[in-house]
Structure 1
């Protein structure tokens, strides 16, 4: 069975519980990211935008979009390989395509490669209800050897 055909090993609930336990800072000031779905090599997340995510001019800030892309790629990887807290970002490149209006932002994640030691994926971010992307990111993650799984 190819990696693309394999169902995720972690459900949305399992990924959310893992993030809550291992990365409580994601909920500092209130929950802002929700995992909406995970699938074979995919994930969908929502950034619940509030004042802390806005920059002057009334648009969602670049750091908030970057965080959503990074967390989204991490979630897609975890959903496929299990709760590996020490999988880390080694590179993330983001292109900001247009200003998102204040409001929720959706991240559509697709893993392009999932190997034993490296994963590569892309995140396309949309303002909720809009089909035109506001940002696109490509990231690479290092996956530790299996004996470092928590």
Structure 2
């Protein structure tokens, strides 16, 4: 299956369709069934103590799974998360961006299933791992 959206396409789509997260995420790499996305960590992503918050890590995993799905099906603003399981495995490094490496495990007509590994930039071990399922809207 061919890639339907480039990194630039996905960034523009996010900025237009989800203005509330404009500037939070950077699509770094797109390949068949794989996407790498960066959370541009800002003060709003931090919890007391200066580490990136769990909800921000979840947002990165969720957006990344959404984007790997869109990379393969094209822009679908109404694709939605139907399931997520996330393991927070270790504390992220303070003051650095997070990087999500996403693999699309299954792409059907109605659902996509992805695996996400989240790393603190510069660290070898992941800080979180997530499995997400997205519902794909019916073709019109």
Q: Distance in 1 between matches of 2:102 and 2:2?
A: 15
How far residue 48 of structure 1 moved from its aligned partner, in angstroms, is: 1.1
Q: Give the one of 11, 19, 38 matched to 1:16.
A: 11
Q: Which residue of 2 aligns with 1:52?
A: 44
TM-score w.r.t. structure 1 length?
Answer: 0.90
Q: Which residue of 1 aligns with 2:67?
A: 75
Q: Which residue of 2 aligns with 1:131?
A: 124
**8 Å Cα contact 1:10/1:78 also seen in 2:** yes
Show structure 1 runs of 4+ deviating over 6 A: none
Q: Distance in 1 between matches of 2:14 and 2:137?
A: 18
How far residue 129 of structure 1 moved from its aligned partner, in angstroms, is: 1.0
The number of aligned residues is 139
**8 Å Cα contact 1:7/1:39 also seen in 2:** no
Q: Give the one of 21, 25, 48 matched to 1:26.
A: 21
Q: Distance in 1 between matches of 2:43 and 2:14?
A: 23
Which segments of 5 or more consecutive residues in structure 2 lack a partner in the other structure?
Answer: none
Q: Give the one of 78, 99, 103 matched to 1:106.
A: 99
TM-score w.r.t. structure 2 length?
Answer: 0.96
Which segments of 5 or more consecutive residues in structure 1 lack a partner in the other structure?
Answer: 1-5
